[in-house]
Structure 1
Amino acid sequence: MSPSSESNIFIYADFDLEAVCRRASTLRQGISCTCDPGQRPASGSFNWAIFILFEDGIQWVFRSPHPRTFMPLDVGVKLLASEAATLRYLKAHSDIPVPEVYDYCASSDNDIKVPFILMSQAPGWPLSKVWVSAGSPLPNLDPSKKAKIMTQLGGITWKLSQLRLDQIGSLYDDDGAFKIEECLWRCYMLRERFLLEGQRGPFTTDADFYESLVSKFLEQAECLRLSHHCFVAPVPSRDDYQSDKQYRQAVDLWNDFVTVGNKIDSADNRLDYIVAGDALRDIVRKFELPTPNPGTFPLCHADLSVNNIYVDDDYNITCIIDWAFTSSVPESMLLSPPSLPQYGDKISPVLHTAFIDGFQAAIPESTEESTVRRYHESLKQGSFHWNLSRLLGLDSIGDYNLFAAVWQSTYGPEKDIGEFFSQQRRSPHYLRLYDEVRKEDRPLWKVERDEEDYFRNKVFKHTIAKKLTLISEWKAKYTADSPRRTRQDMFVASPNLWKWILRFMENWKEMLDADAEVKKRIP
């Protein structure tokens, strides 16, 4: 069947729909199937999918990579091939509930004309229907049911911990045999990091893996776009505000602040991330991890979220989908708590405890006491490694907060972050580096032009953002002794700052309204 203007099914790619049905029918010994050409494909960030219905009521899923601008098709194809191999490995070596892969092709050189996976449909329904994000008007899931989910995820994590590979990397299919090749973990692929050259594994030690992640963090800080990442101005989080309105107003203030001076992609912001990256390198080199199984590494789902967890009506997990980006990892990373509802969201201490309880309950009674003790110690360090992995991958809206948590876990409160950054910024090494990075800053006239366009007819908001920038000393003043413009302090824009400014703006508006009322009454 060829594409037509009336067929929603071809919105993401031109492919041979009849060939899809033929292949599916052949795989089921000739049972006929249909695929509604009027269906609009389901779509995620990296793949689109359609559904195939057999005459006996069985339904399959046909998935293919998106030709996204932020993720080249060849990278998507590589992820697809590794995901297919990972799912087959999990089916062969565990009872973890995952979709079954019936067929796949990691190129467009086939009768269907696109790379694809043909797989079973996940039974049950996605947890995203009931586990909502903060601030949502929808009713949230009962805490006891959330705890039940977390306990089960703990048990599944135990099963993953028993799938040991001799290197850190992603799985591929080599003529029916599984092999480990380059690591496709999120930290290597997302936010344009696939463009960076250098080692992606496979790695033979935890230290090599973490060293590589720090290098990618630093390379992104130096030469890639930083998107919403402003180290000393974390994006406001919905959890910190009483209402959606207040949260949206705080985000608006944040946007105003980072627009003045093009803060995000400035040399000043990049230098902050470089200083943080070098500090993280020192921190990861201090690791002394009580690894229960030295020399081997467990598989880990790279993007566990409520969208990828399916449950039945009693909240028993029926399937876990979306195993793209999966890799074997250091044990410490596997044992960090899951992020729900989405990858960057930290769960509560109560749910973290439920996860740990589920993991420990799954450990067989025959396990040696020393091994159980090492697992227990690793699980206790889970929050630290959660913060570290999200920070290294820039998978957060609050990088400074993550860094502060990692820093304090390592050095305690006696070593002040602000003083450390101020000392580093003034050192000859970072002053030279600042001068190099600043060469890539946008010309001042372009920054001022964009700023003028952004704040057109928003004089009051522009004034507030400029005053706040001045107070923060984002650009330190020139002096005879220090001509460079590196900041000398550690100003951090916290939720309390945005709340204070919002109160000021409300009071100012009330004052103007009252003044206007008085003027109306004057004859």
Structure 2
Amino acid sequence: MSPNSAPEIFTYADFDLQALCRRARTLRQGVSCVCNPDQQPNSGSFNWAIFITFEDGIRWVFRSPHHRTFMPIELGMKLLASEAATLRYLKAHSDVPVPEVYDYCASSENDIGIPFIIMSEASGRPLSKFWKSAGSSQPGLDIPSKAKVLTQLGAITWKLSQLRFDKIGSIFEEDGIFKIQECLSRGHVLHGRYDLDISRGPFTSETKFYKSLISTFSEHAEILQLSHHCFVAPVPILEDYQSITQYRTAVDLWSDFVTIGCKTDSSENRLDYIIAGDTLHDIIPRLQLPAIDRKTFPLCHADLSVNNIYVDDNYNITCIIDWAFASSIPESLLLAAPGLPQYRDEISLELLAPFINGFITAMPGSIEEKLIAKYRETLEHSQVSWRLSRLLNLDSINDYDLFATAWHSARPGEDMGKYFLQRRRSPHYTQVYLDVKQEDQPPSKIQKDEKDYFQNKDLRKTIAKKLTLMSEWKTQYAVDNAAKPLRRDMFVTSPALWKWIEQFMQEWTDMVDTPTKELRP
């Protein structure tokens, strides 16, 4: 470190380090502590953290929101205040293993100079240290050990289901009193949604909550970036391929396809999401999402992953961290098994069973058998709720299949593809398409991006253009009555398509390298 450079501890913000240590000593009734200025802060997507070490070896965590371009600091401070209040509420009303909050301030108006939480250090190690990540060559947890974790998560879910509120929203603390206020759920604030003019609650009913979330989804589709979300071209997932090499090839082919014409943020793709959002207003009331009590709403973590679950060496859960975005929610959403290893990953059936058993086993023996049976049935049919929440939050990579689950549950036997084709060419959505099309990127910009992307990739560019032509990407959304698309079905990419193209490319390469070799049929 050069003489003029700031210590590592100030990487993300300037603050009064001496004031922090004074506050920590006071909170522990005078026990001496140090906060090493040379420590490199730990950093997550939304917060950074450093450690305070006391003379008796105990460590505390000091956390503060990042200044991010994708999230204003004002929102970060709200999330901090809600998370601190949620952790205090959990400590006061349950035995769910969470960090203890010793102090917090959700503004910079304090002696330290930045918003902060001071909390206990989570015991154990993150589950991510043990759970094999997709594509990793390292051995991961065996099924019995994973089942043990899911059993415990089932029991914790039961405990959360007993923390009930009369409204849907996030917890805040005012003068020691916990209150439900605006909803800071992922679906209401992430991906730039914090800037939308939408209803954020608190909501007095499931209907109002879903209406708000669907409206947010539709506004997102119309004006915000859709990133990797392409309704008819889901991002490939590793589980559908025989090897990591084949999977990576599929992802490259998918990227080639959506690059042609800037498909993800095109008016064509936006229209599909707008149609999906409008349709959800009709679908959700038909779903009859299971719930035991529809008049009150349980508390939910909202962001469980192997990074936020801490365990000991025997895989006993010791702490659950990162309760930002926590809120009360409709019961059917809480009872859906969490996605692991990451939030968007649906757990396998072999792990769903121990989650359900853990939930049922945690219920008091005094509960009637009829109610236990009803809970078990609800838990066993929670897949629709899980997929619906991931769709509305745009927290997954296969929105088409997520929507299809809700569609077929609400409208069994009806042709979803035909429905979309009809809606695309209806007078209402023809006008929506024309309105949204005005915000498409200029052709010159799209062509430049394509040229930059496909440098030295002539074969892949040719394939992507041919696939776009075959999909009739533009004519499926045609507003000109003279246009007569050849397709009578809805074009949707699939693992089989990417595998077929990969095989063709390999055979083409072999033929070029060995001219006498014939292509296999």
Q: Normalised by the shorter chain, which TM-score bucket?
A: over 0.9
Q: Distance in 2 between matches of 1:480 and 1:118?
A: 62
Q: CA offsets per residue over residues 108-155 of structure 1, 9 Å max, x none? A: 111111100000001111100011222211101010010010011000
Please list, as runs of the form range in 1=range in 2, the aligned pairs for 1:470-509 lying within 5 A after superposition.
470-476=469-475, 481-482=481-482, 489-509=489-509
Report the residue type matching 1:448 in the other structure: Q
Kept in 2, the 8 Å contact 1:384–1:405? The answer is yes
Amino acid at match of 1:457: N
Report the alpha carbon displacement of residue 487 of structure 1 after superposing the two structures with TM.
8.3
Corresponding residue for residue 148 of structure 1: 148
CA distance 1:45–1:4, shift in 2 (3 Å): farther
Partner of 1:13: 13
Q: CA deviation at 1:238?
A: 1.4
Judge conservation of contact 2:301–2:323 (CA < 8 Å) in 1: yes
Describe how 1:171-250 pairs up with structure 2 within 5 A.
171-250=171-250
Taking a change above 3 Å as real, the CA distance of residues 449 and 371 of structure 1, as seen in their structure-2 partners, is same
For the pair 1:453 / 2:452, whether they are aligned, the reply is yes
Give 5+ residue unaligned stretches, structure 2: none
Instruction: Output the amino acid matched with 2:55.
Output: E
Q: How far apart are 1:374 and its partner, in Å?
A: 3.1
Q: Which residue is 2:126 aligned to?
A: 126
AA partner of residue 432 (structure 2): L
Residues 1:314 and 2:308 aligned together: no
The whole-number CA distance in structure 2 between the counterparts of 1:254 and 1:319 is 39
Q: Which residue of 1 aligns with 2:437?
A: 438
2:421 aligned partner: 422
Q: Counterpart in 1 of 2:333?
A: 333
* TM-score, normalisation: structure 1: 0.95
- 1:517 to 1:180, Cα distance in 2 relative to 1, 3 A: closer
Q: Secondary structure at the match of 1:285?
A: helix
User: How many Å apart are 1:316 and its aligned residue?
Assistant: 0.8
Taking structure 2 as the reference length, the TM-score comes to 0.96
Q: Which SS does the other structure have where 2:286 is aligned?
A: coil
SS at match of 2:313: coil
* TM-aligned CA deviation for residue 425 of structure 1: 1.0
Quote the Cα distance in structure 1 between the aligned partners of 2:127 and 2:196. 35
User: Is the 8 Å Cα contact of residues 261 and 446 (structure 2) preserved in structure 1?
Assistant: yes
Does structure 2 retain, via aligned residues, the 8 Å contact 1:91–1:100?
yes
Computed over aligned residues only, the root mean square deviation of the Cα atoms, in angstroms, reads 1.9
**Greater mean alpha carbon deviation, residues 487-496 or residues 153-162:** 487-496
The answer on whether the counterparts of 1:125 and 1:311 sit within 8 Å (CA) in structure 2 is: yes
1:483–1:445 Cα change, 3 Å: farther
Q: Is the 8 A contact 1:34 1:53 kept in 2?
A: yes
Classify the secondary structure of the residue corresponding to 2:256. helix
CA 1:354 to 1:176, structure 2 compared with 1: closer, same or farther past 3 Å?
A: same
Judging changes above 3 Å, is the alpha-carbon distance between structure 1 residues 484 and 109 closer, same or farther for their aligned structure 2 residues? farther
Deviation at residue 243 of structure 1 after TM alignment? 2.1
Flag the 1:469–1:54 CA change in 2: closer, same or farther, 3 A.
same
**How high is the sequence identity, in percent, across the aligned residues?**
63
Cα deviation for residue 448 of structure 1 reads 1.5
The corresponding residue for 1:27 is 27
User: Residues 460-490 of structure 1, C-alpha deviation per residue, up to 9 Å, x if partnerless?
Assistant: 1111100000001101187962469998641
> What's the secondary structure of 2:179's corresponding residue?
strand
Structure 1 residue 209: deviation in Å? 0.6
Partner secondary structure for residue 56 of structure 2: coil
Q: For each residue in 1:180-213, what CA deviation from the matched residue of structure 2 results, as whole angstroms up to 9, or x when unmatched?
A: 1100010001110001112111011111111111
Q: State how many pairs are aligned.
A: 515
- Encode CA deviations 1:153-186: one digit per residue, 9 max, x unaligned: 0000000000001100000010111111100010
Deviation of residue 364 (structure 1)? 1.0
Q: Determine the C-alpha separation between the residues in 2 that align with 1:479 and 1:141.
A: 54
Question: Match for residue 162 of structure 2?
Answer: 162
Relative to structure 1, is the Cα distance of residues 65 and 4 closer, same or farther in structure 2, using a 3 angstrom cutoff? farther
In 2: Cα distance, 1:288 partner to 1:374 partner: 14
Query: Any conservation in 1 of the 2:106–2:115 contact (CA below 8 Å)?
Result: yes
Structure 1 residue 291: deviation in Å? Answer: 3.1
1:516, distance to aligned residue in structure 2 (A): 9.3
- Equivalent position SS for 1:202: coil
